[in-house]
Amino acid sequence: MESEPGKLYLVPTPIGNLEDITQRALRVLGEVDLVACEDTRTTGQLLFHYGIKKKLISYHEYNERQQAGSLAQEIADGKSVAVVTDAGTPGISDPAYRIVRASIDAGIEVIALPGASALLPALTASGLPTDRFHYEGFLSPKTSARKRRIEELRDYKHTLVFYESPHRLVKCLEDMREVLGDRPVCVAREISKKFEEFARGTLSEVIGSFKSRAVKGEIVIVVAGDNPKLFDRRDEEE
């Protein structure tokens, strides 16, 4: 008799503070047969912290295409697999899409757990409108391609959200100012960690605050949409 297929779990992990993992995530990590992760060392430390011993399999952007099919087969054969990234929610600017697609195509149940992500804390604490927003992820590291994409987003009326690396932050903000004008912006850095920072102001003001110092950590850029009069929709209703 053929075994029942397992399940695929997408499990968010803390982006900084270890207390941000959920009880459900810990239970699932303890129950699955395999944990597919970006870096086995990083995930190994997390599991060790919570006393979980589990077989780890490397699953990252460079082997995702090859691993997705084999992991889907493992699940079809009856094993349950959890996919985690080094930090945050799998599939949000991190690997997960291909294993999800392969599992769906194979008729495997996919269960996505809610949990930590840098996107929403940065947006909600930015002070910019949150009723509608566009999540862009990482822009191109190449200046011409980056500017071209920012140009395509220039007329969006809703808040824009980007991820960026520390060493490209200032240049990216300068490109945004050049293309979008001197709009309000919030740069969120090291969310939930010891040196968490929210730098708010115009693009010029925030560029000035970062230009004179070294920047480290995970970065989220939240920029106002093409709306010179920012307001909360509740104000409109009053």
Percentage of residues in the chain with pLDDT exceeding 70? 94
Percentage of residues in the chain with pLDDT exceeding 90? 85
Clarify whether residues 91 and 173 are in a common domain: no
Q: Which residue has the tokens 């939240």?
A: 222
Give the C-alpha distances (Å, rounded to integers) separating 152 from 147, 160, 178, 220.
Answer: 9, 12, 13, 20
For the four alpha carbons of 224, 171, 219 and 67, in that order, the dihedral sign comes to positive
Structural domain count, the chain: 2
Residue 105 predicted with pLDDT over 50: yes
If you ran DSSP here, which 8-state letter would residue 78 be given? T
Q: Which residue has the tokens 């240049």?
A: 171
Q: Which residue has the tokens 């520390």?
A: 166
pLDDT of residue 126: 97
Instruction: Determine the Cα–Cα distance for residues 134 and 174; give it in Å rounded to an integer.
Output: 20
Clarify whether residues 129 and 81 are in a common domain: no
Q: Which of 79, 112, 145 is the last residue of a domain?
A: 112
Dig out the tokens for 177 from the structure.
Answer: 């100012």
On whether residue 17 sits in a domain, the answer given is yes
On whether residue 139 sits in a domain, the answer given is yes
Clarify whether residues 161 and 106 are in a common domain: no
Instruction: Determine the Cα–Cα distance for residues 4 and 76; give it in Å rounded to an integer.
Output: 8
On whether residue 232 sits in a domain, the answer given is no
**Are 34 and 82 in contact, with CB atoms under 8 Å apart?**
yes
pLDDT of residue 120: 95
pLDDT of residue 227: 81
pLDDT band at 237 (very low <50, low <70, confident <90, very high): very low
Instruction: Determine the Cα–Cα distance for residues 25 and 71; give it in Å rounded to an integer.
Output: 20
Residue 36 predicted with pLDDT over 50: yes
- What's 30's domain CATH number? 3.40.1010.10
The arithmetic mean of pLDDT across residues 55-67, rounded, is: 90
On whether residue 238 sits in a domain, the answer given is no
Residue 119 predicted with pLDDT over 50: yes
pLDDT of residue 64: 87
On whether residue 181 sits in a domain, the answer given is yes
Instruction: Determine the Cα–Cα distance for residues 121 and 58; give it in Å rounded to an integer.
Output: 28
On whether residue 2 sits in a domain, the answer given is no
On whether residue 57 sits in a domain, the answer given is yes
Which residues does residue 82 pair with via DSSP β-bridges, in sequence order? Answer: 9, 35
Clarify whether residues 89 and 179 are in a common domain: no
Average model confidence (pLDDT) across the chain: 92
pLDDT of residue 229: 65
Query: What torsion do the CA atoms of 14, 17, 22, 28 make, to the nearest 10 degrees?
Result: 50
175-224 pLDDT, tens per residue?
999 999 999 999 999 999 999 999 999 999 999 999 988 899 899 999 99
- What's 193's domain CATH number? 3.30.950.10
Clarify whether residues 160 and 195 are in a common domain: yes
Clarify whether residues 77 and 97 are in a common domain: yes
Clarify whether residues 194 and 102 are in a common domain: no
Residue 234 predicted with pLDDT over 70: no
Residue 2: burial class (beta carbons within 10 Å; 0-12, 13-18, 19+):
exposed
pLDDT of residue 228: 63
Give the N- to C-terminal CA distance of the chain in Å, as an integer. 65
pLDDT band at 85 (very low <50, low <70, confident <90, very high): very high
Output 177 or 69, whichever has higher pLDDT.
177
Q: Which of 112, 134, 156 is the last residue of a domain?
A: 112
Q: Which domain holds residue 141?
A: 119-223
Q: Which of 112, 136, 159 is the last residue of a domain?
A: 112
On whether residue 231 sits in a domain, the answer given is no
If you ran DSSP here, which 8-state letter would residue 167 be given? G
Clarify whether residues 193 and 169 are in a common domain: yes
